[in-house]
Amino acid sequence: MLQEFKKFLLRGNVVDLAVGVVIGAAFGTVVTALVTDLLTPLIAAVAKVPDFSGMSFALNGSRFMYGHFINALISFLLISTAVFFLVVKPINVLVARSRKGAPIDPTTKKCPECLSEIPLKAKRCAHCAQIIE
């Protein structure tokens, strides 16, 4: 049973997924820091709003921190934009290139007797009169 577990863990998909999750979490942290430490103050300087993370309002003694939500929204937009332009678009280009060079569905087949090209639906070879099954 231990061997099966080891075999499962060392499969390419499991390892790739684990690496992707770790890299994704690290990327998310970097983008969040970028938004919190650089973009938010830049936007705040232009819009003359001090800092989004400090923005809040109180209602019946409850404090609503909508500034943190704005930071999270900006982080989400940056992460999704980066994933789209750095992962999705390049993969779509590669898939389109691979499909361009791929052969179209065949319309002919080879006669098993004389190896001539005959139509796919032919029941008899036009060159050697062999019956094709």
Domains, the chain, ordered by start: 2-102 (1.10.1200.120), 104-133 (no CATH)
Residue 109 φ then ψ, to 5°: -140, 170
What whole-number distance in Å separates Cα of residue 23 and Cα of residue 64?
32
> Within 13 Å, how many C-alpha atoms sit on residue 112's CB side?
7
At residue 42, the pLDDT reads 80
Does the global pTM surpass 0.75?
Answer: no
Q: What is the pLDDT of residue 67?
A: 84
pLDDT in tens, the chain (133 residues): 888 887 777 776 777 788 889 988 888 888 778 777 887 778 778 877 656 777 888 899 898 988 888 878 887 887 788 778 877 898 888 888 877 765 677 888 888 888 888 888 888 888 888 888 7
| Coil vs helix vs strand at 85 | helix
